Structure formats: C-alpha cells, structure tokens
Amino acid sequence: MRFRDILLFLCATAAACAGATTAASPQQVSPPPVATLAEKPLSERVVAYQIAARFDADKRTLDATEVLTYRNLTGQPQDIFPFHLYLNAFQPTSTFMKEERRDRADIELKDKYKASAEVKSLEVAGMGDLTSQIKFVAPDDGNPDDRTVFQVKLPRPVASNESVQFRIAFHDQFGQVFARTGYKRDFIMGAQWFPKIGVWWQGAWNCHQFHADTEFFADFGTFDVKLTLPQNEIVGASGVQLDEMKNADGTKTLTFRGEDIHDFAWTAQPTYHVVDDSFNGSMGRVKIRLLLQPDHIDQAGRHLRIMQETMKRFDQWYGPYPYKQITVVDPADLRAGGMEYPTLITGDAFWWMPEGLRLFPENVVEHEFGHQYWYAMVATNEFEDAWLDEGLNSYTECKILDDIFGKHKSVMDLWGLTESDDDARRNSYLPAADLDPMSRFAYKYISDSSYGGITYGKTATVLLTLEKAIGEETLKRVIHTYFMRYRFTHPTQEDFLKTAEQVSGQSLRWYFDQAVYGTQVLDYEIRRANSDRLDWYLKDPPKEKKGKTVYRTQVQVHRKGDFIFPVDVVIRFDNGESITEHWDGKDRWVRYTYEKKAKLVSAQIDPGTAVLLDRNLFNNSYVREEDTRARWKIVSYWTWITQLLSQCLAWLA
Ligand SMILES: [Zn+2]
C-alpha cells in the first residue's frame, strides 16, 4: 500500500477516527445503517475496523493499514489485547499443520501452499508505537513455533467503558489454497487475512490458535474496507459496496461497509460470471449476488433456486435475515468452497452434476447459508461449542432440504435411488458414536473424522431424535426462540439447552446429559421372540389350528447400549391383533409375555424409526418365517454407499 493511499484513506475516515482517539463514549450515536435492513444497530458493536488494503495480483501479496477501535465493555480495565493472525497457520511448524499431520502423515505443505501475515507496525492512539511489545502466544498447546495469535501489552490500561484505537500496518503473503483461503491461478479468496482481535468472554480473553478442525469466534461491529486491486478484477465481499474509484495506475479502489458482522472476507477473479437476483423477506428485499466460475454459468438457476427456497424457510421458521445482501461465491478451488463468512458464503459446483444429485450445489449452498444464522448472527464459540453452529446447522439443513425436495430425497433422487440428508448425517455419526462427546472442544477430538461425525452427524441425529420426545413443531419453536433471543450475541450450549427446556415445558436434562455431554451409545435389540404352544407336554398333541391352539408368546427387548431412551415396541399376531408396549428403557431388558390363540408374526422396536440415534437399526425387529437375507443384503450395500456419500458431505462444511 502506498503511503499516499493510506493518508487519503485516513483523511476520509477522519471523523470516525477522531472520535475514537479521544476515547469515544460507548453510548455514541450511530449513523443510520446502510448495510442492514434494520433502523438501528443490531449488535453491541464492540469493534469498528477501518482497513485500507492494496492487493498485488501478480505477487499475491496484500499491504494494508487497519484502524481498529475497540470498546472496552468488559467491565474492567484492560492492558493486554490478543489478536488472531491466521494466515501464519500455513507454515510447516504451526499447530494447524501439526494437527493436519496427526491424522494423515502424508499431508505435505508444499512451498506454493505456504502463507504468512506480518505486522509491520502497531500503534495505539495516545500511547505511541508499541510494535516492540508484540509477543506471539500459544494459549492452546504452548507451541513456541505457532504464530497465529499475538498479544500486545499497553503501557497503561484502557478503562472500563472507554475505547482504544489500534493502528496496525500489515503485510500478507497468500499461498495457493490449502484450506479456505488463498489463490488458484487468477482466483483469490481473502479470508482470515487481517489482524482480528479476540473476544472477552466469560471473564477472560478468548483467542484460540488456528487449528485443523476449528473455525472462528469474534465480536460484532462495523467494517469499512477499501480494497485496491487491478481494474479487471471482479470482486465480491462481505457487507455492501458503497463506491468504486478508478486509479491512474490501472487499479481501482472499492469501498465496502459491513454492519453488525464479526468478520470480513472478500474474493476476486477477472472471469467471475455475475448474476444478480433477490429475495423478498420479512424485513425487505435482500440482494443475492452470485459469482460463478465461467464454466458453471448453467448452474445459476440451481444456485438461485436453493438460495431463495432456503432463505424463505429460514425467514418463516426461525427469523429474518436482516442484511441487505448475501454474496454467494462459486470458488475456482474446492478447498476454498463450503465456507461461511458474514454475508458471504462459498459453495461448490460441478458442470457435470446431474440435477438429481444434490450434494453440489444444493446441499452445500443451503448449509453455508444456514451459517448466516448459526455462526454469523447467533455467534457461538466455534472452537469450544462447535455443535452449536455446525450441528444445529446440520439439523436445520435436514429439515429445510426435506421440505424443499421431499423426505428421503434431499441428497439424491436419481435413477430410482434416493438418499436423505437425515440418513447421510446419521451415517457419518455411526463410526464415531462412542469416541467423543458433542461438548468436547473442537480441537480436542480424537481425530478429524470423529469431529465431523459427532459435531455434524451426531448433533443432527440428536435433534432429529429429540423430535420424538418433544415433537417436531415444538423443536421448531425452540430454535426460533433461541435465534430471536440470542442473535448478535455469543450464547453457550447451556443457553440452547435451557431454551429447549423452557419452550417445550419439559425437563430434558436426562437426554442432554447423555446426548450432549456423554458418549453413551443407543442400541436396542429384539433379543428373542417366539411363540410356544401351551399344550406341548401332551403325549399326542392335536394338530396346530389357527384360532384354536393357544400359544405363550415372549418378546425380549434388550438395551445393548448405555444410552437410556424410552421406546415403543409393536408386537403383531397372526389374528391381526397388534399390541404397542411403551418401555422406559431404564432396566437392561424387558420381557413381554402373552397367552393367546394366536401366534407371533413380528416384533418391532420404534416402528416409525424416530429414534435415529439407535446405532443399529437392523436388530430392531423380528419377523417370523420370512427370508430376510436377500433384503438385508441390498439394504447393507445401500447403507455402505450412503455412508460413503455421507463422508463426502461431512467434508464440505
Ligand atoms: Zn458448516
């Protein structure tokens, strides 16, 4: 970034800066929103970022000046401030790479994938140049070579309710996309690209290192970003674009503003195909800006349809989308796809994907838009409570995709084969069922497949099973209440669980203790079922006669796993009679005995297959005298295929 540009930018934003340097009052009057459909600020706006950045498309470098005004609403004086510097994850000795290689020792970080961010200078208004006070820290694993978090100690504390202003000059070197951010030929995804302050949360700074399996956590505020880059670039970014100015040196400077968001991402590529459309929601018209790869122009309709159908259901079921725009990016590199940023998402698409195969773009676009609710607005801690964003989002994804495409058809409806998202999510959970609790910090799972299986798959399955206990409509009201109550804040898992208990009017602790905090596995089986004629002891018993011979029928139901959940058992007899038993599941087994002039035909646990947490559905039934081998074989093969598909799906998000 040239000095003149920095100067111009700083002058342009002087009014806001001037207020901040003199410790602006937290009660200052905000200008009317331009990036949201609301009439006043939606969040507490702890942070105000003003960034002027120049991107060199040849070198894939970025030089910028960031002016961050931070309001100290922590309730106490603060003199230490931590920042994320996440591009440094793409270095061989980082904690991110250490964790990548823990599961797959063949993963390499070739030179082209390396990336870095360097703070050139850091000043604090009224306190001078504190660059020498920058210290890298590794709060999660103590790795002295990890440079993804730094902190700075101020010479004097910032009083409670006062503001502090940081002025940071930094330099980024992007690498080819390894995960989420970087370039591929002339495509660039600018994510995790600027020093981002941590969150004061639950009485301490929360500023985790960049891990292989975790995402992000930041405070709400405003972003004023000026991005200078070559004139031929087509650009998408968080927030809304306010201005475009052509510069004499062949560059242009675009001005963006984001309000009530907690991160800012951008992308550029000269060959993006732009499609503009809109969605009319309960707060007004939202612009949908679609940036497609040039060979995916024929995918525009699929993207727009899934966006509009998804936004409609979120609006009606859970609450309004209050921003004026959502930008949907179809990235040139899959590894930058399937990501969420405030008001900007990345999907994935393939030109050859048949319409009946809905993993791309439908499933992934729906999922990433869902994160506008479960991450961007309800901004939970993705490091510590990952199930609250990924898992809750996987559940709402199941509900919304089912509603759009029909039950059992949300992943695939092709050549007579169907697959539902419910099954896909459940299948990803099965191999990891007893490894990690949902409440585990995301970077502490035994493996990344367990993280994916539990955080996404188990949470979705836990909530689908909760429908059995409190009802589908009640759970919808729970989620609506949770969204409206906690949007633009940082709730915890207990906030969600308490909302569920309050809205349903039921004590659910017994369920959450097992499902959320525990690793108990749920598995019920029909252990034994038979009918035995009562007159077996006669020396010459009469021939069995339907409706005449009396049988003693017993059905043994066994709780194989440690997860206790009430179940229904339906027992059918050959006289057409059907008995439904309700078992609380508390003992290890139960035996039902009947004496009737009828013989057992079948015994079935959970006949509607509502208890999807049950790890093995094959042992839930007994069927008399039916050759079930062939049928089960087909089912087994299909299960295997769907598990494979589910794994693919799990990696998308
Ligand atoms: Zn996700």
CA of 193 to the centre of ligand 1 (A): 20
* Residue 244 Cα to ligand 1 middle (Å): 32
Q: Count each helix (H run) and each strand (E run) in the chain, helices first.
A: 14, 32
Give the distance (Å) from ligand 1 centre to CA of residue 653.
Answer: 4
CA 553 / ligand 1 centre spacing (Å): 49
User: Angle CA(92)–CA(96)–CA(100) in degrees, nearest 5?
Assistant: 85
How many CA atoms, within 13 angstroms, populate the side-chain half-sphere of residue 480? 16
- CA 390 to chain centroid: 3
What is the spatial distance between Cα 357 and Cα 363, in angstroms, rounded to a whole number? Answer: 10
Q: What is the pLDDT of residue 139?
A: 98
Q: Do you find a cis peptide bond into 361, omega within 30 degrees of 0?
A: yes
- State in Å: Cα 99 to ligand 1 middle: 19
CA 152 to centroid of ligand 1, rounded, Å: 32
Q: How many CA atoms lie within 13 A of 101 on its CB side?
A: 13
CA of 471 to the centre of ligand 1 (A): 25
Nearest partner of 365 among 322, 327, 409, judged by Cα: 327
Q: Ligand 1 mean position to 651 CA, how many Å?
A: 9
Dihedral angle, C-alpha 495, 496, 500, 506, nearest 10 °: -50
Q: From the CA of 452, how far away is ligand 1's center (Å)?
A: 10
Rounded to the nearest angstrom, the distance between the alpha carbon of 119 and the centre of ligand 1 is 30
Amino acid identity of 128? G
Task: Report the C-alpha gap between 255 and 246 in whole angstroms.
Answer: 12
In 3D, which of 356, 353, 360, 394 has the Cα closest to residue 374? 394
What's the gap in Å between 457 CA and the centre of ligand 1? 11
The Å distance, Cα 359 to ligand 1 centre, comes to 14
Distance 588 CA to ligand 1 centre (A): 37
Cα of 393 vs centre of ligand 1, distance in Å, is: 7
User: Residue 53, SS3?
Assistant: strand
CA of 192 to the centre of ligand 1 (A): 16
Residue 641 has a pLDDT of 63
In three state form, how does the secondary structure of 259-296 look? EEECCCCEEEECCCEEEEEEEEECCEEEEEEEEECHHH
User: CA-CA distances (angstroms) from residue 356 to 52, 117, 410?
Assistant: 45, 43, 9
What is the structure's pLDDT at 31? 82
650 C-alpha to ligand 1 centroid (Å)? 9
Cβ-contact 349, 296 below 8 angstroms = yes
**Ligand 1 centroid from CA 165, angstroms:** 33
CA of 349 to the centre of ligand 1 (A): 17
Residue whose structure tokens are 């809304």: 240
* 445 CA to centre of ligand 1 in angstroms: 17
**pLDDT at residue number 103:** 87
Long-range contacts from 515-519, C-beta under 8 angstroms, 24+ separation: 515/438, 515/458, 515/462, 515/465, 515/466, 515/563, 515/613, 516/387, 516/437, 516/438, 516/439, 516/462, 517/437, 517/438, 517/439, 518/437, 518/563, 519/433, 519/434, 519/435, 519/436, 519/437
Q: Which uninterrupted H or E stretch holds 604?
A: strand 600-605
CA of 177 to the centre of ligand 1 (A): 18
Ligand 1 geometric centre to CA of 215 (Å):
9
| Cα 101 to averaged position of ligand 1 atoms, centre (Å) | 22
pLDDT at site 229 = 98
Positions in the chain whose pLDDT score sits under 70: 1-29, 625-653
List alpha helices for 335-445, DSSP H.
364-370, 386, 392-405, 421-429
Q: What is the pTM of this model?
A: 0.92
332 Cα: distance to centroid of ligand 1 (angstroms): 19
- How remote is the CA of residue 527 from the centroid of ligand 1, in Å? 39
Q: What pairing do the DSSP bridges indicate for beta strands 149-158 and 78-84? A: antiparallel
pLDDT tens track for 502-545: 999 999 999 999 999 999 999 999 999 999 999 999 999 999 99
CA of 390 to the centre of ligand 1 (A): 5
| The amino acid at 354 | P
| 380 Cα–ligand 1 center, Å | 13
Q: Which residue is it, tokens 């955080």?
A: 455
- How many angstroms separate the CA atoms of 149 and 172, rounded? 15
Q: 328 C-alpha to center of ligand 1: Å?
A: 15
C-alpha 374 to ligand 1 mean position (Å): 9
492 Cα: distance to centroid of ligand 1 (angstroms): 18
- What pLDDT is attached to residue 138? 98
